[in-house]
Amino acid sequence: MNIEEAKYFIEDLHMSKCGFFKTMCLKPQYKALLYARLGRISYPLKWVCGSYPITIDSKHNMYLGKGVWMEHPHGTHLHAKSIGEYLTVKQNVCIGMNHNQLPELGNHVFCGVGCCVLGGIKIGDNVNIGANCVVTKDVPSNCTVIGNPAIIVKMNGKKVNIPL
Backbone angles phi, psi at 36, to 5 degrees: -65, -40
Closest CA to 33 of 5, 56, 15: 56
Number of residues assigned to the chain: 164
Distance CA(129)–CA(145), nearest Å, equals 5
How, if at all, do strands 158-163 and 151-155 pair?
Answer: antiparallel
Predicted pLDDT at 58: 62
Output the domain CATH number for residue 151. Answer: 2.160.10.10
Predicted pLDDT at 64: 86
CA angle 18, 23, 29 (to 5 degrees): 130
Residues 27-62 pLDDT 10s: 777 777 777 777 766 656 655 566 666 777 766 678
CA angle 48, 51, 55 (to 5 degrees): 140
Please count the structural domains in the chain.
1
Amino acid sitting at position 74: H
Predicted pLDDT at 161: 93
Distance CA(164)–CA(18), nearest Å, equals 39
CB 162 within 8 A of CB 140: no
Amino acid sitting at position 122: K
pLDDT category, 130, cuts 50, 70, 90?
Answer: very high
pLDDT of 127 > 90? The answer is yes
Least confident range from 9-13, 103-107, 133-137, 149-153: namely: 9-13
99-127: average pLDDT:
95
What domain range includes position 96? 3-163
CB 133 within 8 A of CB 147: yes
110-131: average pLDDT:
96
Which comes out higher in pLDDT, residue 144 or 41?
Answer: 144
Please give the share of the chain, as a percent, with pLDDT higher than 90.
49
